[in-house]
Amino acid sequence: MFRLPDPNLRDEELVLYYYGEARNPDRIRRCLESSPSARARYDELCRVLAAVDELPAPEPPEDYGAQVWSRLAPQLRDRGSRRGIREWIAESLSPSVLFPPRRLVAAGALVVMLAVAFVAGRYWPAAQRGIGEPLPPSGRERIMLTAVGRHLERSQRLLVELANAAGNGGVDVADERAWAEELLPANRLYRRASQHSGKAALAAVLDELERVLLDLARGPEEISAAELEELRSRIDGILFKVQIVGSHVRRRGPATPQAPTHPPVAGGHEV
Amino acid sequence: MKNDAGPPDEAAVIARARGGDDEAFRQLVETHSREVFRLAYRLTGNQENAEDVVQETFLRAYRALHRFDSRSRFGTWLHRITANCATDLLRRSQRDPRWDGPADENFDAFASAEPGPERLTLSAEIERRVRSGLAKLTPTERTAFVLRHFEQQSIAEIGRVLGSRTSATKQAVFRAVHKLRQELAPWVEENHVQVA
């Protein structure tokens, strides 16, 4: 494949020799000793592969395993392999059971969003500060909460859209999938920030939301009606939490509006 | 794979996990997560994708635990799943490769103590070029190369991971090395790079 000037030694043989898998290493060693051109080629290969070793290898924190487990454990329960009484109770009390019609859930989401918009519109101006005025001690946190509030609002729109998707035969979720992909990096960022700042409840909701976004973003562009139904059952639970936490966060957060309330449009969706 | 032999009682933990003991599975996750992450990062070249791969790896392992052959090493089995998850992810995101972007800021790029400015500049350039070279590999080439180069797996083992014949696996490694040489060799020679 890469036959080079030295007719007795191919590059493939040098690669296998480098990795200790040559069929006849003694022959190659002798050839390298006797042929300066072969030696030069092999030295160049060694330098290139040694350069590859310089690629930084990140070192996860000591408690990384515990972090992975904390994200994984609820998913294992969601997948329903082993269901206990706690899961049964949680499921029985989930909004999908308490408020079965999906339209009602969507309508509830709309009411919450309108109420939040009304409250925010009423109190927002009073909280504005002059340009250049230093942030109060809680300023950074409030800016973060404002951003998280907007993120939850956008996520809520996606969830409502999915909850109301038509489900006959194959369902095209390409747009929702792209939308989830866009939301995912921000969700990770906010989840980590919430974890680091000790906001356990917010972090838990963001974590749950992340799993839905991740499955959607990594899934196919078309799903079956049964898959959509499964997705909906997960969404109904998370949607309710996102509404509650989102409205709570947005009430606490918008003290220092710095950006237009209408986010930029990307990929056909407001993000 | 390096040091994948688990603790002496790992076989018992695996047996408990297979019997439905989630606490035992948690032990396995906590024991192997960091190794799985390192491999996932090498394969995907980006922290976020690596974290997705770690998550997916353990989910698949959980579902397939009953198929695990207890004569094998659990770490090796997990690494196979990791490689498959990463390859799937790479294929899906081929239209939007992510490792061509900026390097992660969360980790120290190089472990050498107190590197001087020249060393840092050189290292950053090497990293950029290696990333660029790796980005030109197909998912199969990248997986084969990472498993051979960083994980010291034999070509036969890699073939089993990829589900391909040994000859095809060899060719994937050769093509990967060839592409990396094309990307790096002129620069390495020109700059007389002597890497550790």
Q: Is residue A88 one of the residues assigned to a domain?
A: no
Nearest residue of B to residue A13, measured between CA atoms = B174
Q: Token pair of A151, please? A: 């993120």
* Residues ≥6 apart with Cβ < 8 Å to A28: A9, A13, A14, A17, A22
Residues A249, A145 share a domain: yes
Residue predicted with more confidence, B102 or A256: A256
Q: Which residues of A fall within a CB distance of 8 Å from B107?
A: 56, 58-59
Lowest mean pLDDT among A208-212, B113-117, B184-188: B113-117
- Output Rg (C-alpha) for chain B, integer angstroms: 18
Contact call for B130 and A59, based on CB within 8 A? no
Whole-number pLDDT of residue B173:
96
Residues A108, A44 share a domain: no
CB atoms within 10 A of CB B175: 18
Q: Which residues of B fall within a CB distance of 8 Å from A64?
A: 33-34, 37
* Count of domains forming chain A: 2
Residues A34, A127 share a domain: no
Residues A257, A186 share a domain: yes
User: Domain limits at A43?
Assistant: 11-53
Task: Determine the residue type at A226.
Answer: A
* Residues ≥6 apart with Cβ < 8 Å to B184: A48, A51, A52, B129, B130, B133
As a whole number of angstroms, the distance between CA B101 and CA A48 comes to 22
* Residues ≥6 apart with Cβ < 8 Å to B168: B159
Whole-number pLDDT of residue B129:
87
User: Looking at the predicted structure, is the pLDDT value of residue B147 above 90?
Assistant: yes
B180 vs A1, A11, A48: nearest CB: A48
The domains found in chain B, sorted by start residue, are: 8-99 (1.10.1740.10), 115-196 (1.10.10.10)
Q: Classify the phi-psi angles of A206: left when phi > 0, otherwise alpha if psi is within -120 to 50, otherwise beta.
A: alpha
B149 and chain A in contact, CB less than 8 A: yes
B178 vs A2, A21, A75: nearest CB: A2
Q: Which residues of B fall within a CB distance of 8 Å from A267?
A: none
pLDDT (average), residues B117-137? 77
Q: Is residue A211 one of the residues assigned to a domain?
A: yes
Nearest residue to A173 via CA among A211, A219, A133: A219
Q: Is residue A3 one of the residues assigned to a domain?
A: no
User: Looking at the predicted structure, is the pLDDT value of residue B155 above 90?
Assistant: yes
Whole-number pLDDT of residue A28:
92
Q: Which residues of B fall within a CB distance of 8 Å from A65?
A: 29-34
Q: Is residue A58 one of the residues assigned to a domain?
A: no
Q: Is residue A144 one of the residues assigned to a domain?
A: yes
Contact call for B130 and A65, based on CB within 8 A? no
| Cβ proximity of A56 and A26 under 8 Å | no
Distance from CA of A144 to the nearest CA of B (A): 20
Q: Is residue A63 one of the residues assigned to a domain?
A: no
Lowest mean pLDDT among B43-47, B50-54, B152-156: B43-47
Residues A98, A44 share a domain: no
Residues A112, A237 share a domain: yes
Residues A122, A195 share a domain: yes
Residues A134, A36 share a domain: no
| Cβ proximity of A11 and B178 under 8 Å | yes
Nearest residue of A to residue B86, measured between CA atoms = A218
B29 and chain A in contact, CB less than 8 A: yes
Q: What pLDDT tens digit does each residue of chain A (271 aa) get?
A: 444 445 578 999 999 999 999 999 999 999 999 999 999 999 999 999 998 988 877 888 889 999 999 999 888 765 544 434 444 444 444 444 334 444 445 545 555 555 555 545 444 444 444 444 444 556 667 777 777 888 888 887 788 777 777 656 677 777 788 888 888 888 888 888 887 777 888 888 888 888 888 888 877 777 877 777 777 777 777 777 777 777 777 666 554 444 333 333 333 333 2
Q: Token pair of B133, please? A: 């070279």
Q: Is residue A4 one of the residues assigned to a domain?
A: no
pLDDT (average), residues B84-95? 80
Q: Which residues of A fall within a CB distance of 8 Å from B111?
A: 56
Q: Which residues of A fall within a CB distance of 8 Å from B108?
A: 56
B107 vs A48, A49, A58: nearest CB: A58
Distance from CA of B162 to the nearest CA of A (A): 18
Distance from CA of B109 to the nearest CA of A (A): 5
Residues A142, A37 share a domain: no
Q: Which residues of A fall within a CB distance of 8 Å from B34?
A: 60, 64-65
Task: Determine the residue type at A155.
Answer: S
Residues A25, A112 share a domain: no
User: Looking at the predicted structure, is the pLDDT value of residue B160 above 80?
Assistant: yes
Kindly list the distances between the CA atom of residue A197 and the CA atoms of A144, A145, A158, A242, in Å, as whole numbers in the listed order.
11, 12, 27, 19
Chain mean position to CA A182: 9
Whole-number pLDDT of residue A226:
76
Nearest residue of A to residue B149, measured between CA atoms = A19
Whole-number pLDDT of residue A58:
80
Nearest residue of A to residue B64, measured between CA atoms = A81
Nearest residue to A92 via CA among A205, A242, A241, A233: A233
As a whole number of angstroms, the distance between CA A154 and CA A206 comes to 13
Kindly list the distances between the CA atom of residue A148 and the CA atoms of A4, A57, A261, B4, B40, in Å, as whole numbers in the listed order.
58, 31, 13, 40, 29
Whole-number pLDDT of residue A146:
76
Burial label for B50, CB within 10 Å (0-12, 13-18, 19+), is buried
The A-side interface with B (CB below 8 A) comprises 1-2, 11-12, 15-16, 19, 21, 44-45, 47-60, 64-69, 71-73, 75-76, 79, 81-82, 185, 188, 214, 218
Percent of chain B with pLDDT over 70: 78
Q: Is residue A73 one of the residues assigned to a domain?
A: no
Residues A257, A134 share a domain: yes
User: In the 3-class helix/strand/coil scheme, how is B18-60 assigned residue by residue?
Assistant: HCCCHHHHHHHHHHHHHHHHHHHHHHHCCHHHHHHHHHHHHHH
| Cβ proximity of A108 and A242 under 8 Å | no
Percent of chain B with pLDDT over 90: 46
* Residues ≥6 apart with Cβ < 8 Å to B89: A218, B44, B49, B52, B53, B56
pLDDT (average), residues B99-117? 39
Residues A171, A102 share a domain: yes
pLDDT (average), residues B37-42? 93
Distance from CA of A103 to the nearest CA of B (A): 32
Nearest residue of A to residue B110, measured between CA atoms = A56
Q: Which residues of A fall within a CB distance of 8 Å from B52?
A: 214, 218
